[in-house]
Amino acid sequence: MIFETHAHYEDEAFDIDREELLDSFLKNGINHVVNVGSEVGTIDKILALAEQYPFVYAAVGIHPSGTAELNEETFAWLKEKAKHEKNLAIGEIGLDYYWDTPDRAIQKKWFERQIELARELNFPMIIHSRDAANDTYSMLKAAKAEEIGAIIHCFGYGVEQARQYLDMDFYLGIGGVVTFTNGKKLKEVVEYAPLEKLVLETDSPYLSPVPNRGKRNNSFNLTYVAQEIARIKQMDYETVLRVTEENAKRFYRLP
């Protein structure tokens, strides 16, 4: 079975067929979906989806690009939302210097506060880090995040950075980029990292793998991601599915 560790099915890209798509997952081999928060406005939607579907779970958190919406009031609200019984993690949180908005100081402030929230409520974290390798790593180290646990979502750095995060016992989220012909760096990371530290993710509706690159993504495309991991690591496809499912259950503390 396939464990989808990171998707955004509340996105308006799924407004036309969300129920049809989610209804088709269980009978087609996808038995867990974690729907991940990004902006303040997504949180109630992802919790509603988690309530509607037994196999859908939530991660409550604010993406760095959404942190301009945070203040003491919205943060207190977020903390209450994170106590929902279907919430499994604080995410996605981190730093994004590619879009670089809001100001880095604001991104850092709320990254730090959300790391503290994960520690306080005893949840692991889903980390978003784009073009911000050094600051992300140093903030996670300073916060002793190895005691909290994390997936580095859509892992986009090289082997050296992967080694640092594996030393912290983190997981690496592997998605469609691994199938791209220009995804050489990620293929090297996948070859290097133990399968026991990899989890499958789509980031739907974004980042569709080859052969569906450029189209709206959905969790069925994880078959292409798993096939590519199997090819790179010279393992069989079934092993990749089984081990990544076990990894995700261990990370999200599911039975």
CB of 36 to Ni ion, least distance (A): 5
| 150-152 and 171-174 strand pairing | parallel
CB of 13 to Ni ion, least distance (A): 13
Minimum CB distance to Ni ion smaller for 101 or for 239: 101
Q: Please give the C-alpha separations between residue 179 and each of 17, 87, 201, 241, in angstroms, as whole numbers.
A: 26, 30, 13, 16
Determine the length of the chain. Answer: 255
- Cβ-closest residue to Ni ion? 203
CB of 168 to Ni ion, least distance (A): 21
Minimum CB distance to Ni ion smaller for 63 or for 187: 63
Give the residues lining the site for Ni ion (CB under 5 A): 203
CB of 33 to Ni ion, least distance (A): 13
Minimum CB distance to Ni ion smaller for 203 or for 245: 203
CB of 91 to Ni ion, least distance (A): 8
Minimum CB distance to Ni ion smaller for 10 or for 203: 203
Minimum CB distance to Ni ion smaller for 4 or for 203: 203
CB of 126 to Ni ion, least distance (A): 8
Minimum CB distance to Ni ion smaller for 203 or for 228: 203
Q: Which two tokens stand for residue 158?
A: 């090289």
Minimum CB distance to Ni ion smaller for 96 or for 203: 203
- Residue 61 class from Cβ within 10 Å (0-12 exposed, 13-18 middle, 19+ buried)? buried
CB of 205 to Ni ion, least distance (A): 10
